[in-house]
């Protein structure tokens, strides 16, 4: 595994605890993501996948624990350091979260204008063109409003915005949910090609088993407040009843048989 060559993990979560009232969502959760992995996070509805992702991104302050991205804890950074850190990763949200009052091109330009104010308009246009092509969007999508896009195009436009600052680390929240199987597998292929071409590290929350088996190098399953991490082959044979049910339920069986 990639761990052998580079010992420094990209994302490291140690002793993460999240509670809501008396409900403990994460109980001393630990895991690491190594460079150039595609790390899948799965779990039942309400098991705390989104809270985990939000904790890593610094959108939610956990009750306890340490979260490091490239060896730095976001919560202990000064504002300039934090802004520098934010530029090292890209994020896509479940419903795209494109700004509805901006066109697709303006959405992609948004982080570029914020962090590189010296770029000229032609340069910005050229970079938007690059990002749209990277994610396989037709160029006539650039002047469109988010409400005019199909679900698959929204996901791709969100990915283009996440890639605009050329991060090496991507967080994807259910990137294939709500897509038809052809669009979803198209997205998987896109992710794999970007991963190999751009040497990205990807952390992906997903419920799409096809996508999980196709793309992920390792998988973490949220059960009982902990993350059980293993390779795809290993996790399928995990004895935990919930994990077994997840990967051997009626919807998963066909995939494992063929795969």
Partner 1 sequence: MDAWALQREGDDWRLSLKGDWSLASMGLIERDLAALAPAPDGRLICDWSQARAPGLGPVWALLERLLALGFKPAEIRHEGSPPQALALLATLKVRSDAGAGAGAGAGGAAAAGAGGRAAGAPRGLLDQMGRWVVLQGSEGRGVLEFMGRITQVALESFVRPRSLRPGSIVRHVYETGVTAIPIVSLIAFLISVVIAYLGAQQLANFGATIYVVDLVTVGVLRELGVLLTAIIVAGRSGSAFAAEIGVMQLNEETDALRAMGMNPIELLVLPRIVALVIALPALTIIADAMGLAGGGLLSLVDLHIPLPQFIARLKAALSDTTLWAGLIKAPVFAVLIGAVGAYRGMQVRDSARELGRLTTIAVVQSIFLVILADALFAIFFEKIDF
By the criterion CB under 8 A, which residues form the site for partner 1? Answer: 99-101, 103-106, 109, 116, 118-130, 132-134, 139-140, 142-143, 145-147, 165-166, 193, 197-199
Smallest gap, in angstroms, from Cβ of residue 160 to partner 1? 12
Of 26 and 156, nearer to partner 1 (C-beta) is: 156
Of 17 and 198, nearer to partner 1 (C-beta) is: 198
Give Cα 124 to chain centroid, integer Å: 25
CA 214 → CA 1, 90, 138, 251, distances in Å? 17, 21, 25, 15
Q: Which residue in this structure is represented by tokens 């570029």?
A: 112
Of 61 and 147, nearer to partner 1 (C-beta) is: 147
Smallest gap, in angstroms, from Cβ of residue 189 to partner 1? 13
Smallest gap, in angstroms, from Cβ of residue 238 to partner 1? 35
Smallest gap, in angstroms, from Cβ of residue 36 to partner 1? 11
Of 7 and 122, nearer to partner 1 (C-beta) is: 122
DSSP 203: E
Of 2 and 139, nearer to partner 1 (C-beta) is: 139
Smallest gap, in angstroms, from Cβ of residue 145 to partner 1? 6
**Could you give the residue ranges of the DSSP H alpha helices within the chain?**
49-57, 79-86, 104-115, 121-134, 151-163, 181-198, 209-215, 232-236, 241-248, 250-258
Nearest to 216 by CA among 180, 254, 241, 247: 247
């Amino acid at each position: 595994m990639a761990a052998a060559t580079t010992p420094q993990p990209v994302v490291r979560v140690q002793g993460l605890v999240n509670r809501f009232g008396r409900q403990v969502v994460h109980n001393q959760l630990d895991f690491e993501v190594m460079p150039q992995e595609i790390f899948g996070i799965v779990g039942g509805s309400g098991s705390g996948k989104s809270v985990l992702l939000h904790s890593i991104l610094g959108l939610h302050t956990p009750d306890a624990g340490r979260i490091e991205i490239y060896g730095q804890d976001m919560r202990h950074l000064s504002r300039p350091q934090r802004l520098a850190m934010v530029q090292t990763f890209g994020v896509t949200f479940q419903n795209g979260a494109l700004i509805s009052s901006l066109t697709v091109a303006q959405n992609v330009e948004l982080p570029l204008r914020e962090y590189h104010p010296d770029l000229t308009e032609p340069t910005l246009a050229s970079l938007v063109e690059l990002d749209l092509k990277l994610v396989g969007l037709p160029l006539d999508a650039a002047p469109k409003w988010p409400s005019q896009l199909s679900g698959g195009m929204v996901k791709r436009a969100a990915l283009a915005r996440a890639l605009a600052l050329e991060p090496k680390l991507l967080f994807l929240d259910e990137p294939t949910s709500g897509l038809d199987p052809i669009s979803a597998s198209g997205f998987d292929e896109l992710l794999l090609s970007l991963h190999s071409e751009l040497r990205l590290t990807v952390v992906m929350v997903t419920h799409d088993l096809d996508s999980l088996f196709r793309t992920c190098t390792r998988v973490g399953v949220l059960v009982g407040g902990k993350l059980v991490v293993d390779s795809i082959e290993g996790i399928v044979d995990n004895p935990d009843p919930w994990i077994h049910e997840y990967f051997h339920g009626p919807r998963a069986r066909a995939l494992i048989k063929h795969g």
